[in-house]
Amino acid sequence: MTLNQQLPRAEAQQLSTIVDRHVAELVPALDSLALQSRHLAAWGATLAHRLWSGGRLLVAGNGGSAAEAQHLSAEIVGRYLAERPAFSAIALHADTSSLTAIGNDYGFDQVFSRQVAAHGRTGDILLLLSTSGRSENLLQAAREAQARGIHSWAMTGTLPNPLAAITEEHIALAGTGASVQEAQLVAIHALCACFDLEIDRLGRAGHEALA
């Protein structure tokens, strides 16, 4: 007997409705992402050129957005689908010793900005992920990036929000916090696909130049 067969009909229907509602809430976020497909594709190409030239990607977020950020850095350092060289990407929350030391000595608002100051170089890209766009530690990181000539991008939820306003470029998605976060994973995979394609083009162009 399955779990579904063990549940009373009314309870099973109620839980099924919750699932249906959750899936439906994702549609506006995906629709808003589709409207910004050219923007996201441009990010993928720009990221490829920056990293191909020796730059690095810094990414940060809090909670579930931290997991999304680390997912992206793993795809860049490792690979998404196609085999290609490794590139530099650092998820700023992943170094727990630095994170806790900075938080203890300087305050939680500085846990990302201090690392931007340490790792970032002019021309690098800082990508900040947030469903609310209001996390002070991300805002401080964006300000530090501006001061150091590091390009700042944000993936956020609904506009207006402070993070979208302070970064150079943003992609803002409509929807609930959960649906925005889920759509951001789709955006990350699409970004990686564009990145890989542009890296392949750059590689082939380099081989042709040497031929």
Cβ-contact 36, 88 below 8 angstroms: no
Cβ-contact 65, 181 below 8 angstroms: yes
Cβ-contact 44, 194 below 8 angstroms: yes
Average pLDDT, the chain: 94
Q: For residue 110, is pLDDT > 50?
A: yes
What's the pLDDT at 13?
86
The residue-averaged pLDDT of 142-166 equals: 98
Q: For residue 1, is pLDDT > 50?
A: no
Residue 112's nearest CA partner among 75, 148, 91, 137 is: 137
Q: What does the block give as tokens for 206?
A: 């380099």
What's the pLDDT at 207?
61
Domains of the chain by start residue, with CATH: 24-210 (3.40.50.10490)
Q: Decide the pairing of beta strands 89-91 and 169-172.
A: unpaired
User: To which residue do tokens 């959750």 refer?
Assistant: 22
Q: What is the pLDDT of residues 170-203, one digit of tens each?
A: 999 999 999 999 999 999 999 999 999 999 999 9
Q: For residue 31, is pLDDT > 60?
A: yes
Q: What does the block give as tokens for 116?
A: 């931007």
Q: Report the percentage of the chain scoring pLDDT > 90.
A: 88
The residue-averaged pLDDT of 32-46 equals: 98
What's the pLDDT at 63?
97
Residue 109: C-alpha distances to residues 100, 143, 207 (Å): 12, 12, 46
Is 45 exposed, middle or buried, given 0-12, 13-18 or 19+ CB atoms closer than 10 A? middle
The residue-averaged pLDDT of 202-211 equals: 74
Q: What is the pLDDT of residues 3-19, one digit of tens each?
A: 556 778 888 889 899 99
What's the pLDDT at 208?
65
Q: How many residues does the chain have?
A: 211
